Every structure is written in C-alpha cells, then in structure tokens.
Amino acid sequence: MLRSICYDFALFQISIYRIVFLRSYRRTLKGSKHQTNSKLPTRRSNGLVKYLGSRWFSTVWPKLKPWLKRLLITFGVILVAAVVYLDITIRKQFEGGSWAIPAHVYTRPLDLYVGLSIAESNVLDELGELGYRPQTGAPAPGTFESSGGGITIYAREFQFWDQLRLASRVRIGFNPARTQITSVTSLDEKLGLFQLEGRLFGSVSPLSHEDRELLTLEQIPEGLITALVSIEDRNFFSHWGISPIGILRAAVANLVQGRVVQGGSTLTQQLVKNYYLTAERTISRKLVELVMAILLEFHYSKHELLLAYINEVYLGQAGNRAIHGFGLGSQFLFGRPLQELNAAELATLAGMVKGPNYYNPLRHPERALERRNLVLEVMRQEGLISDVQAGQLQQMPLGTGGTAARQRRSYPDFLDLVRQQLRKDYQDNALSDAGLRIYTTLNPRIQNSVENTISSRLAQIEKSRSIDKGTLEAAAIVLRTDSGEVVALAGGRDRGFAGYNRVLDAIRPVGSLLKPFVYLGALEQPEKYGLGTLIADKSITVSQVGSEDWTPQNYNGEEHGLVTLIDALKHSYNLATVNLGMGVGLDTFSQLLQRFKYNAREPIYPSAFLGAVPMTVIEVADLYLTLANSGFKTPTKSVRSVLSDSGDPLGRYPLSIEQVAKPESIALIVHAMQQVVEDGTANAIGARFGRELGYAGKTGTSDGYRDSWYAGFSGEHLMVVWVGRDDNQPTGLSGATAAAHIWSDTIAKINTRPLKSTLLADMTMVSIDPATGMQIEGGCPNAEELPYIVGYEPMSQSACYVGGKTESISNNNSSGAKARKSVGDWLKGIFK
Amino acid sequence: MAQRYIQINNSKTCGQTEMFTLQRIFIIAFIVLLEACTTTPRPNKNVVVDEKAVGDGQIGGSSQTDAAITSLFEQSQSQVTAGNLDEGARVLERALRIEPANPQTWYRMAKIKYLQNDYAQAAVTASRSNTFAGSDNALRLLNLTLMLDSYSALGDTDQAATVRAQIDTIQQQ
C-alpha cells in the first residue's frame, strides 16, 4: 500500500515536472514574451489594489493574501490527494483481478465406448444440452452431424482432471437398432473410449451472488466488439475516457429518434460505473466517474479496458444469481460459448447492455428482438455490415429457446449437496471467489427423469385420491451403489427452485424402512437365525424407560402367529418385527446402526424397530447404500474432483470403502428384500419389472400415514423416495401407494443393471418348510428355497407336512441326502 | 490467485509425490508379473436394455465393453509404472463405472492401495473383489494373498490368520 502511494506521488511529481517543463519550454519558444508575461501577475495585483482603491483593502489584503494562498494550496493538495487516491483505487482493483469468481459446478462427463448400450437419441439429448448444434459435416467445435448410422461430433476444448482435451472430431458408430455403440473413432484412429464433457450448470455463489465466466481477449469474437462499440460508444478507440462529441452525437440521435437510443457515457465510463461505483446519480459521483475514466485510459490500453468491460458488464438475473460478463451471458442465454454465437446473437447481447432486465430475451423477447435489430441497423448505417447481411440477420430468431432453454437448467438442490461436501474441505471464500471448477457426479439424464416423475406422479396421486392440488411434496435421491456417487437429487416437486431441500433437511420418521436392519441384526447371528426361522407375530407389550408401556399393532390389526423371518419382512409385520427385535436386543440393533455410521439424534427406544426414528432422505440412502453394496460402506459423494481456475488439479475424492458387515449376512437380507418386491408389500414393482431383474427394496409408512417411503436398489442404482406434506398432516398414502410408484417410474426410465442373486461361495440354497422352519426335500409342494450360510442350515425333516399330514417323498433324491447331511453341519454350527 | 485456494484436508491433495524406493519398484515388478499370469475373467452379465431408457447406459454388453476396460487397464498400468498411483486408481474408478462388478478392476484397485501403503483399503478392496470373483479360485487366491500381506503389514495377526486359513482351504480344493 505504502509503496503504491509513494509510487503515485512519484508519478504525480513527474506529472507536475512535466507540466512545468512544458510551460517553460513553451515560454522559451515564445522568447521575449516570456519576460513580459512574467511580470503580469504583479501588474495585475497592483491594478486590482488601484481599482479597489480602498484603504481597508490595502491593509487587509496583504494579511489575507498568504491565507488565501494557503487555502488554495490546501485545496490543491486535497484535490491531488483525491486524484491520487482514485488512481490507487482503480489500479489496485483493476490489476488485482479482483473479480470474485464463484466456483463453477459441472455435471459428470459422459463416457462413450464400444459396447455401451445407449440409445442414439440419448447421446443427441446430451449434445443438445451441452449446446452442440447440428450442422452438416460438423465443421467447427460445438457442432455435430447425425448421419450414416452414427454421430460425428466436433468436441470442444475441455479441461478434464488429467488433461486438456483440444477441440477434436470423433465419430460414434451405432448398431442398426441405434441402441448400442459399435465404434468410436477419431480421424483414422480407433479409440477405446471418448468422454463428452460435463455441462456447467451452476455455481457456488458468494454473498453478492455475482456470477461470471472470465474470458481472455482471444476468446472475444470481433463481431461482439463491433456491435458493442457501434451501439454504445462509437468513438471508443479514439477518445481518452470521456467523449464530448459522443455525448453530442447521442443527444442528436436521441432527438432524431424521439427516444433514448444512445447513451452519452463512453464504455470506459460505464466500466468505471459498474466496476467501482454505486448506481446513485449525483454530480459528485459523475465527477469521480469522469476522473476515474481518464485515469483508466491513462494507465491501460483500449483492449485491456474492453476486456474488463466485457467481463464486468451486468446482463441480468437468474433467480438470485446475477449474470455478469458476456462469457456467462452467452452460456446462460444461448447455451453455447461466446465464440460460437452468430452475429445476430452477438448483437442481442450487445443490445442488452442498455437495460439487461428490460431487454432480457427470455422475459421480453419482443423488446430484445427490436433492440437487436436496432443494433444491426446501426451497424448497417456505419457500413460495418452490408444491407443484405443486416436484412438476413434481422430475420433470424433470437435463438434463446429450444436446446438453449434446456441448457439453462440448474439443479439448486444438488448444489446444496455439493456445497455441503465441499465445505468440509474448502473454506467458504475459496468456494465463492477463487473460480474453482467443481466436477460433480450429477447425471442430468437421470436428474431430469426424477424431476419429471415426481411432478407427474404427485399430480396423478392428488387427482386420483382427491387430495388438494399442490399439497403433496416429495424428495428423492439416486446413487450409484458401487461408488456412492449421487447422480440425482430432488429436494421437492418444484424443479429448479432453490428452497427447502427435503432430501438434506426434512427429518421425518422412516416407518418400516428400518426393519431390514432389525432383521439383519438377527441374521448376523446365523447360529440362531436364518431366513426360515420362525418368529411370533403376536401381541407384545414393551416397557420403555421414561415413557408409557408400548403395545404396537400390525397395519391391518391382525396377528399372524408363527411366521418365517423372511415372510415377516416381506409383509412388513410389526408384531413379528418387535418380537424379533426384542430377541436380538435393542443394544445390538443400536450398535448395528452405529456400525453403519448412523448417528442417532435421539436415544433409540424399542419403537425404533418400527421406524420411530426421524431421519433425512440422505441418511436413509446412506444406510441402504451399505446394504446395496454387500456390507461395504462407502461415503455418499457428489463431487469427483476440484480444479483451480487455471485448470490445475487441486483435489480428488477417491473411492474409499470400509467393510461394516459380512457380505453373507447382507446377501441374506438382500434376498429377503428382493422377496418384498417380488411377493411382498412392493409387489407392484415386481409385477412391473419381472422377477429376473431382482430389484430389492422396502416400503415405509409412518404413523397416521404421514410419511410414505420407499428405498430400493438395482444392481447399479439405489433410490430413496419420500412423499408427504410439509405441515406433517396425514396423507392417507402408504409407502406402496405413493413413494414406490415414483421409484418404479424413475427406474423404468433409466438404464440400470439387474440385481443378481448374490450367493457367495460359502452359501447354499436350502428347501424350507415355512410352517416349521425346518429343511425338507425340494419336491415338497410347500417347500421354499432360501439361501443359507454353509454350516448354518436348519435341521432337516425327511417328510413333507401338507395340511398337518405327513407325506413321504417316494423319490429320495440327492437334495434329500444333502439335507440330511446338513443336520450334522447345523449341529456343528450351534456348538461352534 | 493460487494462494487463495486454501485446502484444509491435505490428505485429498492430488499428485502426492512419494519416494519411489527400490523396494517399491520390486513390488510393482512382482505385481506386474502376477498380472501377466492371471486371466481377466468377466462376470456373467444379465443384459437387459430398454431402448428408451435414459442414463449413461451403463449396462455393459457382455464382452463388448472389453475394449474400453482393456484400454483403461492399460492406462492405469502405465500410470502405476510411472509412479502416479493416484492417477492409476482414478482411471480404475472410471472402469468401475463401466463395469461395477468386475472383480479384476477391484483387484487392481486393491493392488494400488497396497502400493500406496494404504493397507486397510488394500485389504477391504481385495475382499470386495472376492465378492464378485465367484468360482474363480485363481483370483480369489490373489485377493487373499494381498489381504494377508495387508493385514500382516497392519500387524493384524487375527485377520491374517483367518485369511491364511481361507488360502489353505482353497489350495486344498
């Protein structure tokens, strides 16, 4: 700072010397006049005294004169100090590159490779959302051509984590059905795989909510400069910050047109106004603006100023996000980089400067079109474009609809999760003003499916059940089971609305969603429990410390007597679950949840067996992720990597897993959850997809039908859905009648792997008699095949029990022999 | 500008250059040799493709995705050979997104974790590989050997003994 001030004073002194030198030089040139003129001040003062002729003045003036001199000097010093201060201010801010660039957040890149099953239309959708335009021959970056059984893409330059991919052409070949990629070639080279870059969909805004994308001079199209200069400041390249001629010309033009068509401020003044000053309109502010404009011109080249202007200019509002600079403006309005815009689109942007909100092409397309055409007309008048060109350009549409509209899709709910994850590792100011690039796990195709499904399903449920329109809310999250990557998140039914995020913040009782963990607690003791173990679905009263005795009921109010463990979960019997939970022990259950990294907000009571535990959607997802991942815990994540503003790798979130349960125990509970879908409370899902896909899940309904839940997974994705009301009033909806439908509709739209039965090496399928829980021969009509850990199969019986009678199996096959052999193993297991 | 990024968690910084000791070169050479001796089994895939389905179309098409996986294995291997272990792991994560249940990918990941001296992750990742290995006893043995080494390095004798017993059982088969 001190150095800067000293430097400024030095500059100021140089300026003074320069003025003094120039004066004396001129005087030297004028020769003898110099002598004569040098006496002028004395003559003038003498004359003044003589003219006033006042004795009072002649006595007072000599005393006043030094004071006046001091006053003038003081005033001069203050003036100089003010100018110096302004000079310091403008240079410090200008050269410091002090724009707060928020962290920019990108969707996941799309891997395209031979063998990938993906509809060509999906790749075209992805390209559309990235702002790629169809053009014959794909002649330039940002274009593609779909022809001859494939797509030729001229990919843009993109900074990936490991490398800068230069703009390049690639050909993606499809099978005749256009459902699978058969070749990926670049020029003549066969590629293993190719990545389509992610899309910038949001930013982690600073408090000011200013957002911008910085451009370099080389990235600015000539057409933008031409349009901007012609409409805003025709003399920009010749004036020195302020332009009296420009003011006059603008006044004349406005008079002729009868309305304000041109402003008198130069681009430099506008830059000063936007960059350094407030919006107030006072004379002092105007004076400061003029001085600063001149100082800026004194220090910096026209191109430097133009670049600053282009990066600084305000171009409107997107929610609470202020769009600054033509770079982001272009992305936001047209869905493409500035370099890819045509002359008409550049003219639209240039025209917006005068009134970013008034001429916003999204909100006021007619005004924007008129303004754009005026810009083009001015350019025509100045001979910058021909009459024909102007005519053609004026006929073009604004170009802000269609794919550009899809490009503007932002996912504020997902951004909340990104912020939450990054705040653990990065300071707030690094996120809000350092221009970081955040590469996330968001899959826009799946995200859009979730949002559309929620919107249509809730409307349909409200209509069919005569629920007041708009009263239901929903929240959903989809993750990849292998890595815990969150691929979609919807915090409510209003898409794109940044508000209450029900996935992260709504804490609601989860109902039967916790039951699989009660049963898992049992199955982790294979010497005591297997899927065929009988448990009592009978009334039970539980004493709870600090509260009244608790007597749970089944949903239908009935008791079912002795049922197998798998049937109890399949049909979500409350009484059987509580009986089982009490047998397993509350502590064991509580420790299991802790092992799965769930930190309970409140002490766990026996009512927790039936889900009287409030959780967020993401907490449920976190618990279920470990079930879907064979007992291997992996943290949920929304960010893959973070790069600096210049593209340098800063941090990565590598895959990390921890084993919290034995894969065998998990395989048992997952088998039971597959039965829930096939034949239990979520059988509608089973009926829709067929048993071969093997999806697993669990419905959940809280007391009084206030919360409808479904958590389920395929071989690749886990999705958790909640439906309810924000005011916590009953909806009359169970997990199966609302949340499960949203799950099912979404999964039907996304490509996901089936969930294969995961019998591990030390597991075997055993025939069970559900009435006794004992092994029977596979040929018995009531036999049920269930997986068991080898060594823990139940005791066998040699005959079938049908309707209370014993029936011998005539064909004593090998499975029977195996069953008998298992008794010894089973006993061995007990005494281990 | 660069000094403005302040990263709190150093453990996640990239490009951690580590001492490339002679011992490590031997370990890499040993593992590369093991690599050459093993086959690259593919899990059976139950392919169901909905033509209208969206998403990244992650349903692999049996051996048709081999080219992509092979390419990523090669990339990963060359990064490991060059000492860029984290980059080698990152490339494998990409392969896992294509085929999440490929036990070979998990095994390679486990090896990298071992080379990174992250023995706990090495053991658990090898164990994850085994959940997908099915009846491929050769791969199961490789995973168990890696687990044994990892638990030994961690000083976890109980786990090491359990793993050793599993190795014995497979070898007796």
**B89 has pLDDT over 80:** yes
Predicted confidence at residue A578, as pLDDT, reads: 97
User: Angle, to 10 degrees, between the axis of helix A55-95 and the axis of helix A267-275?
Assistant: 80
Predicted confidence at residue A213, as pLDDT, reads: 86
Q: Which of B55, B109, B131 sits opposite A760 (nearest CB)?
A: B131
A383 touching chain B per CB within 8 A: no
Predicted confidence at residue A203, as pLDDT, reads: 85
Query: How many Cβ atoms are within 10 Å of B78's Cβ, its own excluded?
Result: 13
**A516 has pLDDT over 50:** yes
**Is residue A577 helix, strand or coil?**
helix
Pairing assessment for the beta strands A805-807 and A800-802 based on DSSP bridges:
antiparallel
Mean pLDDT of all residues in A84-112: 83
Predicted confidence at residue A30, as pLDDT, reads: 44
Residue A431 banded pLDDT, cuts 50, 70, 90: confident
- Contact at CB, B127 and A659, closer than 8 angstroms: yes
* Tens digits of residue pLDDT in B48-84: 333 345 545 443 334 677 889 999 999 999 999 999 9
* Tens digits of residue pLDDT in B108-126: 999 999 999 999 999 999 9
- Transcribe chain B into DSSP letters: -GGG--BS-GGGBS-------HHHHHHHHHHHHHHHHS------------TT-BS------GGGGHHHHHHHHHHHHHHHHTT-HHHHHHHHHHHHHH-TT-HHHHHHHHHHHHHTT-HHHHHHHHHHHHHHHTT-HHHHHHHHHHHHHHHHHHT-HHHHHHHHHHHHHHHH-
More reliable by pLDDT, A527 or B43: A527
- Contact at CB, B53 and A750, closer than 8 angstroms: yes
Catalytic residues of A: 232, 512
Would you tell me which residues 83-112 of chain A have a C-beta closer than 8 angstroms to some C-beta of chain B? Answer: 97, 108, 110-111
Predicted confidence at residue A751, as pLDDT, reads: 86
pLDDT-wise least confident of A89-103, A159-173, A379-393, B96-110: A89-103
User: How far is the alpha carbon of B5 from chain A, nearest alpha carbon, in Å?
Assistant: 5
- Contact at CB, A445 and B55, closer than 8 angstroms: yes
- Contact at CB, A425 and B66, closer than 8 angstroms: no
* Tens digits of residue pLDDT in A634-675: 999 999 999 998 889 999 999 999 999 999 999 999 999 999
Using a CB-CB cut-off of 8 Å, the residues of chain B touching A627 are none
Q: Which of A116, A653, A692 sits opposite B65 (nearest CB)?
A: A116
Residue B19 banded pLDDT, cuts 50, 70, 90: very low
User: How far is the alpha carbon of B140 from chain A, nearest alpha carbon, in Å?
Assistant: 10
pLDDT-wise least confident of A3-17, A227-241, A672-686, B147-161: A3-17
Residue A412 banded pLDDT, cuts 50, 70, 90: confident
- Contact at CB, B100 and A716, closer than 8 angstroms: yes
> How many residue pairs bridge chain A and chain B with CB atoms within 8 Å of each other?
201
* Tens digits of residue pLDDT in A348-357: 999 999 999 9
* Tens digits of residue pLDDT in A262-281: 667 889 988 888 877 766 66
More reliable by pLDDT, A333 or A802: A333
User: How far is the alpha carbon of B156 from chain A, nearest alpha carbon, in Å?
Assistant: 15
More reliable by pLDDT, A485 or A254: A485
Residue A391 banded pLDDT, cuts 50, 70, 90: very high
Whether the Cβ atoms of residue A321 and residue A200 lie closer than 8 Å to each other: no
pLDDT-wise least confident of A776-790, A793-807, B13-27: B13-27
Prediction pTM value? 0.80
More reliable by pLDDT, B107 or A37: B107
Distance between CA atoms of residues A297 and A82, nearest Å: 18
Predicted confidence at residue A463, as pLDDT, reads: 95
Using a CB-CB cut-off of 8 Å, the residues of chain B touching A427 are 6, 8
Mean pLDDT of all residues in A471-479: 97
